[in-house]
Amino acid sequence: MKKTLLISSLALAAAAGAASAQQACSDYEIQRGDSLRALAIEVYATEDFRIIYDANREVIGSNPNIIRVGDILKMPCLEDVGRAAPQPETEAERMAAEMAAELVKAAEERAAKAIAEAEARVAAAEAEAKKASEEAVIAAKAAAKQEIEAARAEAAALIRDAGTAERPAIRDRQLLLITGGNYAPFTDESLPHRGLYTHLVETAFLRAAPEQAYKIQFVNDWSSHLDLLMPTLAFDATFPWSRPNCEEAEALSESDRNRCETYNFSNPFYEVVDTFFAKDGSGYETTLSYADFAGATICRPEGWSTSHMDAVGLYEPAITLMRPVDPDDCFHAAMDGRADIVAIEAHLAVEAIKRLGYEHQLIENPNLAAIKPLNVMTHKDNPDGEAILETLNQGLAIMQQSGEWRDIVSEALRYQMENG
């Protein structure tokens, strides 16, 4: 087992070593667009920017988020920060490490290519669907889904098997996490720190396991996370998702029961308000009772849990449920009369309604809201899943006790208010 772990760590070091060898043990002049986090990833293959900050406090000052173009920073040697790759003891180990590094690189390239090709196929299928009949739409999406599943399975096999017949310990490999965009203020690549929830997850890793390597991939087709990507084990975790009331499985919808049976959940990193929006004057925006929704068409995006709706009797045939992939389609449906009500998270709704120009036309019902936690999920077939969640839970506890969680949330919400 020790030899396996040695080869795995050598492989990871070799995979990340190309950029590191160019700038470690040297001085670097800050360029426009640089950040300590980006430099740490490039030079040391980690997001722990403290490696650079601790060596340059006199130059940078008290705030590591502010660096000045033209300043000269010292990049400590790998040995000085404890990231030097272990040296193989034998020629056989050296050759094994080189082979493992090549396989890891190939696996990552294949995974990235599979993601790009899959997204392109889905986009092409959706474009063709607008011109094709309903039967052709179903056939095109089914074919695309089969191709995506095959690509994900192949990529997952490469990642799992790269370098060794045994799966390396999580500290000896890079974890792959998946999330999606267009979910302000929680996850989007255009937001600071790529969103509030992304910032919380990254900080939890930094506090509980700063040595852990990881990568967060954005795939905006949220439903594909649970239907295609996570089941292949190509990714170790996905966020943010709500946890159904798994203790009362008999009251859940089939999709929510499947989520409980298939996934493990972290402690909640954040709680959101899940509520209902309807056209002004429809009556649905002011009702005090869920019973008044009987017979209505309710739009809830695909992949979003319906557990809070099931608990109050809002399931078919009492209501008609629409499940588009894109949340924007729910707001369009409410405006053109195809849907009576949009059931959705309040933060996302406010942003989307403003962006789509439906302000003062789609109104939130303030009487029928539900509080829902947002969690990180790992697949139960992933042997490292519970260890990943334990690490994240430890980091979350540290952040909550120190007050850092509150600071991150306050900063993100303030930015959303000022720029939303």
DSSP 48: -
| 238 CA to centre of own chain | 5
Is residue 160's pLDDT more than 70?
no
Q: Are domains 104-268+377-419 and 270-374 of this chain identical in fold? A: yes
Q: Extract the tokens encoding 144.
A: 């695309």
21-68 pLDDT per residue, tens: 347 889 999 998 888 888 888 888 888 888 899 999 999 988 888 899
Whole-angstrom Cα distance, residue 209 to residue 169? 13
Please state which of the four CATH numbers 3.40.50.720, 3.10.350.10, 3.40.50.2000, 3.30.200.20 is assigned to the domain occupying 2-91: 3.10.350.10
**Domain boundaries 270-374, corresponding CATH code:** 3.40.190.10
pLDDT for 99 equals: 67
Are β-strands 263-265 and 320-322 bridged in parallel, bridged antiparallel, or unpaired?
Answer: unpaired
May I ask the CATH class of domain 104-268+377-419?
alpha beta
Identify the pLDDT of residue 165: 44
pLDDT value, residue 260? 92
| Residue 162: predicted pLDDT | 46
Taking only the tens place, the pLDDT of each residue in 274-319 is 899 999 999 999 999 999 999 999 999 887 878 788 878 898 899 9
What is the tally of helices (H) and strands (E) in the chain? Answer: 14, 11
Which helix (H) or strand (E) covers residue 367, if one does?
strand 362-379
Q: How far is it, in rounded angstroms, from Cα 100 to Cα 414?
A: 46
DSSP single-letter state for residue 63: -
Whether 299 and 339 have beta carbons less than 8 Å apart is answered as yes
60 vs 72: CA distance, rounded Å: 10
Residue 15 has pLDDT above 90, yes or no: no
Per-residue pLDDT reduced to its tens digit, 205-221: 999 999 999 999 999 88
For 218, the token pair is 């954005």
The residues spanned by each domain of the chain are 2-91, 104-268+377-419, 270-374
Q: What residues does 73 pair with on adjacent strands?
A: 28
Do you know the residue count of the chain? 420
